[in-house]
Amino acid sequence: MTTGISSLFLESLTPGRVALAILVFTVSSFIVDFTWKPRYPKSLPRVGYGDGVVGTVRNWFGYMVHFNAWVDEGYDKYSKKGRAFVVPSAPSRPQEIVVPRSQTAWLLEYPDRMVSAKESHRDLLYNDYQFFGVDDHFPIMTLHKHLARNLVGLIPDVQDEIQGAIDTTFGTDTENWKSMNLWEAWLGIVPRVTNRILVGAETCKNDEFLMSQVAFADVVVRNSFVLNMFPRILHPLVAPFIVLPNRWHWYKSHRVVKPVIEQRLHHMAQKAAGNAEYEQWEPEEDMITWLIRQAYNDGLAEELSASMISKRLLPVEFAAIHTTVITGHSILLDLLSSDPSQGYLDILRDETTGVLGEEAGCWSKNGLSRLHRTDSAIRESMRISHFATGLTHRKVIAKEGITNTAEGWHAPCGSYLMLDMAGIHRDGDIYENPDVYDPLRFSRIREEYKARPQEEKRDPAEALRVQRLGMVTTSDEFLPFSHGRHACPGRFFVAHELKMILAYLLQNYEIKPIAERPKPLWIGQTIIPPVQVNIEIRRRKGSGKARRHNDNEQ
């Protein structure tokens, strides 16, 4: 009897019926998903294809290619007039309310228990699946507490690692020009340098570890695009399969770093226990040590395992590698495609050479802070070559929602709000000639102010404005590191890292200019850099021998 029923059932599964069932299930999933999303008041203007059924479906497909154009349209129509607007999002995500610059303080002053950056980032990157349910709160808190206080002492090690990584990546041939893929070159530098302060001097040179971390960062971005297109109700079914590469890349990196972490755990435990043998021993100052130290301070025994620590490294690795490589790649593209007659490369080379000479060849925090033109060139590239439409996102988690005091609209629980970084950075009312890369834009203001007579410098507000033109200073006009209390905690390290990389490159290598800056591709809110660009480079004669700490001598 059972066999007969099974046979009848299998016979009824014609291709047409199976396809129809899949279609009905998929459509039903989108409908259920749609009913869960927050509803925004009609008083908020919309961009895109509209709110009806047809408009909503068209918005889902249009999101991938039209998102930036929609936000640009809304910025000109509404944001510049102090009004918020609603922009379509991917199928799995609610639409977002784009808050105008004039309301930045209103948005960012909300407490985390009402409007959450953490929950927004968690949803944006699908942390529960991609990072195995281990959120980034603990490592970010650890960075806030330990990175700044140790940064000065880490600069010599970072300088040494930069020089070794660049020599290895670009070579030391002073006679022949070498054609190199610029994207691959940055991937040869940034992961190694960044991991000097994350996993220490030994592991940061391990190719298997570095390749695994780069691959992990790549699949996080790719998987975010894929999961964006699935209704959330299906995520528990499809996400575990989509993120299988994440687990593989984590496992490969964990296999390398596990002995290092276990040894560090053992030595720090022995020292904490008062073992006389470890009384004089001091751990290497890196992220592994900081995570262990913070776990001890907070009494979090569950954090003290090699597996957990290597997972805590993942969101930091992702943020540090992904964003810094894109930023560095953009800086060189912007500089190399600038008018060669302006001599920008020579200007930056002269500045870095002069300051490094004053520092006796070893960078310090003070010396790096005096690189005003180099800082300006990097800040200007971050302004004009942003890699996302917006990096300041918030999710309303207060059950009662929040009410906008300027316009009166209400955002219910589950709403998403964002600041339009791209529109602000390209606003001609804020920046003169906003679409032109001017590497000396910010240093010129500093120099003009410095050259003025002392009696003309009595306005403290103007003095403060000039002082706040550094690349690490966030504001409602400069948002690459976000803004407010959740601004990127690693931005001070990134500033030092990029300045030292640029300084060493310009002092020790010649790079041919490129005729035109290649345009990136945008998918949704995120940039796809022009990764196929090659540059012509060779070692400068008389720049000195390769560093003694190169890979062949480890």
Q: Which positions make up the binding site?
A: 488
The one-character DSSP state at 511 is E
Dist. CA 383–CA 61, nearest whole Å: 29
Q: Where are the beta strands (DSSP E) in 153-221?
A: 178-181
Dist. CA 312–CA 289, nearest whole Å: 12
**Among residues 421, 487, 498, 446, which one has the least CA distance to residue 140?**
487
Q: How far apart are the first and last CA of the chain?
A: 73
The DSSP line for 360-418 is TT---HHHHHT-HHHHHHHHHHHHHS-SBS-SEEEEE--TT-EE-TTT--EE-TT-EEE
**Among residues 218, 211, 156, 112, which one has the least CA distance to residue 484?**
112
Q: Which residues, in sequence order, are bridge partners of residue 151?
A: none
Dist. CA 142–CA 148, nearest whole Å: 10
Cβ distance 187 to 214 under 8 Å? yes
Cβ distance 232 to 36 under 8 Å? yes
Enumerate residues 6+ apart whose C-beta is below 8 A from 554: 205
Write out the H or E segment, with its range, that includes residue 498. Answer: helix 491-508
Q: Where are the alpha helices (DSSP H) in 13-96?
A: 15-36, 53-77
The one-character DSSP state at 521 is E
Tokens representing residue 279 in the block:
């009384």
Q: Give the 3-state secondary structure of residue 76.
A: helix
Cβ distance 104 to 116 under 8 Å? no
**Among residues 330, 236, 253, 286, which one has the least CA distance to residue 518?**
330
Cβ distance 234 to 30 under 8 Å? no
Cβ distance 107 to 476 under 8 Å? no
Dist. CA 254–CA 307, nearest whole Å: 7
Residue with tokens 């480890």: 554
Q: Which residues are annotated as a binding site for heme?
A: 488
Residues in the chain: 554
φ, ψ (nearest 5 deg) of residue 438: -120, 95
Enumerate residues 6+ apart whose C-beta is below 8 A from 376: 439, 440, 441, 442, 443, 444, 446, 469, 471
